[in-house]
Structure 1
């Protein structure tokens, strides 16, 4: 099991009843109400985080995961510490964290777009970090974005910009869902396969971080994974990735907020993408049964980039 067995998505722990956590909150009617809700969410997120371990947010650069990242960053960065400086520096520090999974060879340090290499190899999990990679004292807090053929170059650029605005370290890690048959088949199980791979990778990275800090990596309580799942997502039965989050004990601090409330809180929090349109992964553009191979996803990205250029919407 990954992380703490608590979170708003399943109504566990924190002394509240399941009904309290499943209750959808109203959309703030004023900026002050949104600010009050923001402060409430920061406090709640602090109670869900690991105070002496690793806290990672599955990050895409969209408004939901961005707000989750901001909540976690603010919740755990109030104690003065040199390692928690909110610098927007884009210094490119590197680290190689060992992974026993197959890994594609990406080179994010050489380009602003993820490389779509098709040659899997037994290698370390390469993490490219914007800002510091690891805190010298716990807790460690970071946003983690998955580099795979389903991530567009424009989305990666957006994610880097938003993470810098928040002040949270951004870790870019390689994931291998494009090697999973259920993902490639694109017949209904792709989202689950993708998220299961993502959360497993995040857990591995977090445990390796604990080892680097000299902590006992056998204690799963020292690792907490977060995502940006909101109340509207939870009402959508087609989102099988939610099952992967449940199976991996991922915490969802926005689970009681409808999308409109997420945007309202993100706006008062100063997120630059508070009104950004949703941008699902490239695989979601494919019709049911069209195989989600790396080559196909590259073609999808190129086609969308051409449309953006024609419409004058190039980032």
Structure 2
């Protein structure tokens, strides 16, 4: 059966959605200028270098690869993105960005914010009410799958952009299909999220229409004609090659707009850098559910376990948000730490000898910190399976065999 039919089958099991509204950086990639991450947009003489650490292919190297892009080309890229975003955006509609604080949705928020503010539409009868008939806000869905670190980052980026941020609880955690984590969790999660975002937008539109009751009837009829919702997400061209992203089907079902779907992740980072976004070179930050292997229940306890473990690993190893670091929960509750190979192969820490000479500095640091005991005694893991190189993507992949049987 086709993927779409399988997704619809999963959708039929979704429960009703509750629409509730309302240290110094250490390990960086060599490309990161720590003093310019939060600086103003690049000048014409600057060169942006984007670094990636890994590939979806298991045979590829995790050695950092640089993709230089001149500031002039970055400017042209941003101009092209602004043009594309402006064509999608309606200043009279309720424009809502599915915002996570990651670099993709942050760039979209910056683009839509700029495009929206390029429109200056005022009412002759009462220009003080508003310059536009529509609205704009970034919405962050809050659940156990979103770490506190990510929430803080989202707030910081929204403040940098100057866009209104609304934090809304989402209810995918109570959905049995999501909890089973059998390959459809991403689709279920995004369906809940986009439904909630639509509800937020409808609430805002209702409030604005009530505010404009003081306008004359002719103007009110014009406003009613623009009573629409436009949702945006940060899907880029690279995302569309990932077969595990069933959330893309949910986005299609809700007709979500994707201003970045024609550019790569490297171009996303270059554009974000040019616009001065503080997270332009931060490592990918998918939801905590992506750390759970297929079949490991997506419960708040399991999600909290990987969040606590990852926070501990970053603190012990003194690594910054630009480095990929994951704590996976595999079958049987086994914890596995994943790190960029550039960190695992760092020889500057091999200053010990004797029986420990064959032990990596990462394994040694975790052992001395009591990481394994904390995993078992404090966070709810059953065992610790060691350290391995990071590979991008979810460990709860799409259940291809199950799809074929349907």
Q: Is 1:285 paired with 2:291?
A: yes
Q: Is the 8 A contact 2:94 2:204 kept in 1?
A: yes
Give TM-score, length-normalised by structure 2: 0.55
**Which residue pairs with 1:43 in the alignment?**
83
**Which residue pairs with 1:251 in the alignment?**
257
Q: Following superposition of structure 1 onto structure 2, how do residues 130-209 of structure 1 map, counting pairs within 5 Å?
A: 137-209=132-204
Structure (1 or 2) with the larger CA radius of gyration: 2
State the structure with bigger RCO (CA 8 A, min sep 6), 1 or 2: 1
Q: Which of residues 217, 232, 236 is equivalent to 2:238?
A: 232
**Take 1:298 and 1:273, find their aligned partners in 2: how far apart are those partners?**
24
**Take 1:188 and 1:210, find their aligned partners in 2: how far apart are those partners?**
35
For 1:133-158, what per-residue CA distance to the aligned partner results, in whole angstroms no more than 9, with x for missing partners?
xx785321111111100000000001
Gaps of 5+ in 2: 1-66, 123-129, 211-220, 322-406
For 1:226-285, what per-residue CA distance to the aligned partner results, in whole angstroms no more than 9, with x for missing partners?
000000001112110000000000000000001111111111111111111001111111
Q: Following superposition of structure 1 onto structure 2, how do residues 66-145 of structure 1 map, counting pairs within 5 Å?
A: 66-79=106-119, 137-145=132-140
For 1:107-128, what per-residue CA distance to the aligned partner results, in whole angstroms no more than 9, with x for missing partners?
xxxxxxxxxxxxxxxxxxxxxx
Q: Is the 8 A contact 2:92 2:226 kept in 1?
A: no
**Take 1:175 and 1:219, find their aligned partners in 2: how far apart are those partners?**
30
Q: Is the 8 A contact 2:97 2:139 kept in 1?
A: yes
Give secondary structure in 2 for the equivalent of 1:162: helix
* Deviation, structure 1 residue 180: 1.1
Q: Which of residues 84, 93, 98 is equivalent to 1:53?
A: 93
Q: Is the 8 A contact 1:228 1:253 kept in 2?
A: yes
Q: Is the 8 A contact 1:42 1:71 kept in 2?
A: yes
* Deviation, structure 1 residue 78: 2.5
Give TM-score, length-normalised by structure 1: 0.71
**Take 1:178 and 1:255, find their aligned partners in 2: how far apart are those partners?**
28
The alignment of Structure 1 onto Structure 2 pairs a total of residues equal to 238
**Take 2:285 and 2:102, find their aligned partners in 1: how far apart are those partners?**
7
Q: Is the 8 A contact 1:305 1:314 kept in 2?
A: no
Q: Is 1:267 paired with 2:273?
A: yes
Q: Is the 8 A contact 1:188 1:288 kept in 2?
A: yes
* Deviation, structure 1 residue 296: 1.6
**Which residue pairs with 1:63 in the alignment?**
103
**Take 1:220 and 1:200, find their aligned partners in 2: how far apart are those partners?**
20
Give secondary structure in 2 for the equivalent of 1:214: helix
* Deviation, structure 1 residue 313: 4.3
